[in-house]
Amino acid sequence: MSSSFTTRQNRDGTFSTYEMIHRGTHATQQDAAKHAMRLAGEDRKPAGPVAGTIAPTQKENPVNKDERAIAAEIQAKGLTGKSIAPDMIDAEIAGEDYHVFPGSCLTVCCLTLQNGFTVTGESACASPENFNEGIGRKIARGNARDKIWPLLGFRLRDQLAA
């Protein structure tokens, strides 16, 4: 087996590194995980993920923080200019719909905003054995929600320029 890593930003602003185990050259899954850890420069014991699954290793990037923590930091520093807050994002959502495509692991979330505009987010798992509709919905909704930030930022910039 061989391993590769991918990093993705979580909804709370932290980063998680995922290890993908591929069938191949290592004698056991543990050997593959140990090899991947050495490649990543980590000295921790591998969790022993199953071949073909993605296992989070929870590497946190200290620069990226939770949305609310960033909002609190902005206030603490006395930055008083108009800005977009996480609560404003949530207040903009008027409705949500989900669809899982038959025979697939693809979940799509469509968020309808107060003005009727829609944004979508998707999630899919590499291994069908790992598919969970609830988890897919959470990830797809988070990905759709993340698309609202630039829209509200554009709206605010228009208001500030007027």
pTM of the model: 0.59
CATH number of the 82-161 domain: 3.30.160
Specify the DSSP element, H or E, that contains 90. helix 86-92
Q: What is the pLDDT of residues 1-11, one digit of tens each?
A: 333 444 444 55
Residue 103 neighbours by CB under 8 Å, 6+ apart: none
- 36 close to 5: Cβ distance less than 8 angstroms: yes
Residue pLDDT, tens place only, 59-107 = 333 333 478 788 888 889 999 899 998 899 999 999 999 999 999 999 9
3-state secondary structure of 71: helix
CATH 3.30.160 range(s) for the chain read 82-161
